[in-house]
């Protein structure tokens, strides 16, 4: 299905993508590191095709809805003009940002699992297994997630493309979104090329990564403690005090900005507080370092 959509996109907007691909060059490294497996020209064509389809589909929905539902002319005009444009713009931003966000997600996953994967690699290398077989073993460990995918790319380069183990590691080092994993792969190739001790190198890198992992975890726990204090003050204590004040005011009566006290209490309880909690959870998720 994806192949058909890619061919359709190229047939419609291939010439446009050739002309404007330079304007999307910032996406090229992210496409390579995200593992999407689509060339920049094709991705630009997919973006333009998706934007066009969403615009036409939303426009058709607006026009069809106006046949069955009475809508004032001004409202109808704004719906027909602005809603399709807004949805098309959102589609453009989604496709534009997707490879960037995916690359960041892969980087976070690799950084999280790298200390443990390095310890495993060090143990495997100490048995005298060549690097290509070491990466082949890593592929079978699904708990390493993104690192297993990177190892699979190295194995693919060796078995399918006929690269040497050093060339395969250098190629993946260029494509990986993680600077730490890139350093590990480049260090492995450098160690092998100059005849160094690969086992000692992996052991040293494993110790450094585990130490950095512990430091990051301790720092994040301290930060999380600060977030907990902020949450308690702003989303627990403050709302309780505000609700208590509003409860007293409801006895007296009156309105605030055209709303009764009971309406304000209802909005605060069922809309504002849940929304603020969702925003806080989203903030915690975004700031989570993956350690």
pLDDT at 290: 59
Residue 251 has pLDDT above 90, yes or no: no
pLDDT at 5: 87
Average pLDDT over residues 187-212: 91
The mean of the pLDDT values for the chain is: 87
Q: What is the C-alpha separation between 35 and 202, in angstroms, rounded?
A: 25
Residue 188 has pLDDT above 90, yes or no: yes
pLDDT at 6: 86
Q: Summarize pLDDT for 19-46 with one digit per residue, the tens.
A: 888 888 988 889 888 888 888 999 999 9
Q: Percentage of the chain with pLDDT > 90? A: 31
Q: Summarize pLDDT for 40-93 with one digit per residue, the tens.
A: 999 999 999 999 999 999 989 888 877 777 767 777 777 788 888 999 999 999
Q: What is the C-alpha separation between 151 and 134, in angstroms, rounded?
A: 9
Q: What is the C-alpha separation between 251 and 31, in angstroms, rounded?
A: 61
Pick the range with the lowest mean pLDDT from 102-106, 120-124, 246-250, 265-269: 246-250
Q: What is the C-alpha separation between 241 and 236, in angstroms, rounded?
A: 9
Tokens of 74: 């001004």
Residue 131 has pLDDT above 90, yes or no: no
- Which one has a higher pLDDT value, 248 or 160? 160
This prediction's pTM: 0.73
pLDDT at 262: 83
What is the DSSP code string of the chain? -HHHHHHHHHHHHHHHHHHHGGGGGGGHHHHHHHT----HHHHHHHHHHHHHHHHHHHHHHHHHHHHHS---HHHHHHHHHHHHHHHHHHHHHHHHHHHHHHHHHHHHHHHHHHHHHHHHHHHHHTTT--HHHHHHHHHT-GGGTHHHHHHHHHHHHHHTT---HHHHHHHHHHH-S-HHHHHHHHHHHHHHHTT--HHHHHHHHHHHHHHHHHHHHHHHHHHHHHHHHHHHIIIIIHHHHHHHHHHHHHHH--EETTEEHHHHHHHIIIIIHHHHHHHHHHHHHHH----
Q: Percentage of the chain with pLDDT > 70? A: 97
Tokens of 52: 């066009």
Residue 289 has pLDDT above 70, yes or no: no
pLDDT at 186: 94
């Amino acid at each position: 299905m994806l192949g058909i959509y890619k061919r359709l996109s190229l047939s419609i907007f291939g010439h446009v993508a050739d002309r404007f691909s330079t304007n999307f060059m910032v996406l090229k490294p992210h496409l390579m590191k995200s593992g999407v497996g689509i060339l920049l020209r094709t991705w630009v064509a997919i973006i333009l095709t998706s934007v066009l389809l969403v615009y036409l589909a939303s426009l058709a929905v607006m026009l069809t809805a106006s046949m069955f539902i009475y809508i004032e002319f001004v409202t109808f005009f704004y719906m027909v003009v602005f809603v399709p444009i807004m949805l098309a713009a959102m589609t453009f931003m989604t496709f534009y940002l997707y490879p960037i966000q995916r690359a960041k997600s892969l980087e976070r996953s690799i950084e999280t699992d790298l200390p443990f994967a390095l310890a495993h690699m060090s143990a495997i290398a100490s048995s005298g297994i060549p690097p290509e077989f070491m990466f082949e073993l890593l592929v079978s460990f699904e708990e390493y997630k993104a690192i297993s995918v990177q190892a699979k790319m190295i194995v693919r380069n060796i078995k399918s493309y006929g690269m040497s183990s050093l060339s395969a590691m250098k190629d993946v080092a260029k494509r990986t979104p993680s600077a730490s994993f890139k350093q590990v792969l480049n260090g492995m190739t450098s160690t092998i090329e100059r005849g160094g001790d690969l086992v000692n190198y992996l052991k040293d890198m494993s110790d450094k990564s585990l130490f950095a992992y512990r430091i990051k975890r301790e720092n994040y726990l301290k930060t999380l403690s600060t977030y907990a204090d902020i949450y308690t003050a702003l989303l627990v204590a403050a709302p309780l005090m505000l609700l208590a004040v509003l409860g007293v005011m409801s006895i007296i009566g009156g309105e605030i900005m055209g709303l009764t006290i009971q309406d304000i209490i209802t909005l605060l309880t069922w809309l504002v507080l849940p929304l603020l909690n969702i925003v806080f959870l989203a903030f915690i998720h975004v700031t989570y370092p993956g350690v």
